[in-house]
Amino acid sequence: MSEEQLFTTPITEIIKKRLSVRTYLAQPLRPEIKEALRELFSSLKGPFGRNVRFNLIETELARMKSKANLGTYGVIRGASTYIVAVVEKSDHDLENYGYSLEKVILYATSLGLGTCWLGGTFKKSEFSKAIEQKDYEILPCISPIGYSNSNKSLIDSAMRFVAGSKNRKKWDELFFSYDFKHHLSESAAGKYLVPLEMLRLAPSASNKQPWRIVKDSDKTHFYLQHTKGYAKLMAYDLQRVDMGIAMCHFEMTA
């Protein structure tokens, strides 16, 4: 499925519209929505290959089929369906994972659905059972998917405040010209102005925004600036997942 077929709305509008939804209506996904998502799952290929496996997991079916008690420690309310994805262990596995799952999330946004990246606050062993995770696969993240409930829970409001997801770093903190000594201005970005701005709006773990981009003539070089001590708090290096998300936003709007 080409991106022209996938998105009928301009991707820049979808990126601007996407936000983290933690409170959902008790309303199942329509069958045609599930079918469209599964079709996308089967056709997705990341920049480093086709090694990400997706599934739509419904909580009740998972409980009956796999005896999996899916949970998010109270962070997500009302969701009955999750996008669960595993990736084969390999070079750039986490980057490929972030790229691929973000494309699914943007597609879900285009369908009017809510999602939320979760990298730590979910019961990994239960979701692992539900997707029948293999020894050669890892499960870094999940996302609920469904219809947003306008009545936000207290924890939703609190987490939105703590994450500060609207507080984006400025251009001169993220984008550079030729080397890290020279900041890239918006006026000097040229044809990369929109892709870089869409990258700036990308979600990231704890809103750390670890990507740094150096523009060198017509080339852009992506660098990861790790947040000191952050990786030690997580089972996986989620900032590498963030780099994949950034790559997705950049490529889809370049």
- What integer pLDDT is reported at residue 155 of this predicted model? 72
* Helix H or strand E encompassing 126: helix 124-131
pLDDT for 234 equals 82
Q: Which pLDDT score is estimated for 107?
A: 98
Residues 102 and 194: their CA atoms lie apart, in Å, by 18
Write down the pTM of the prediction. Answer: 0.94
- Give the residue range(s) of CATH 3.40.109.30 domains in the chain: 163-253
Tens place of pLDDT per residue across the chain (254 aa): 556 678 989 999 999 999 999 999 999 999 999 999 999 999 999 999 999 999 999 999 999 999 999 999 999 999 999 999 999 999 999 999 999 999 999 999 999 999 999 998 999 999 999 999 999 999 999 999 999 998 877 777 777 666 666 789 999 999 999 999 999 999 999 999 999 999 999 999 999 999 999 999 999 999 999 999 887 778 899 999 999 999 999 999 99
Q: What are the residue ranges of CATH 3.40.109.10 in the chain?
A: 3-160
Q: Report whether 89 contacts 136 (CB < 8 A).
A: yes
Q: Cα 151 to the chain's mean position, in Å?
A: 24
The per-residue pLDDT for 63 is: 93
Q: What pLDDT, on the 0 to 100 scale, is given for residue 159?
A: 72
Pick from 85, 93, 10: nearest CA to 40 = 85
Angle at 112 between CA 110 and CA 113, to 5 degrees: 105
Architecture of domain 163-253: 3-Layer(aba) Sandwich (3.40)
Q: What is the pLDDT of residue 49?
A: 94
Q: What is the CATH number of domain 3-160?
A: 3.40.109.10
The 10 Å Cβ neighbour count of residue 122 is 22
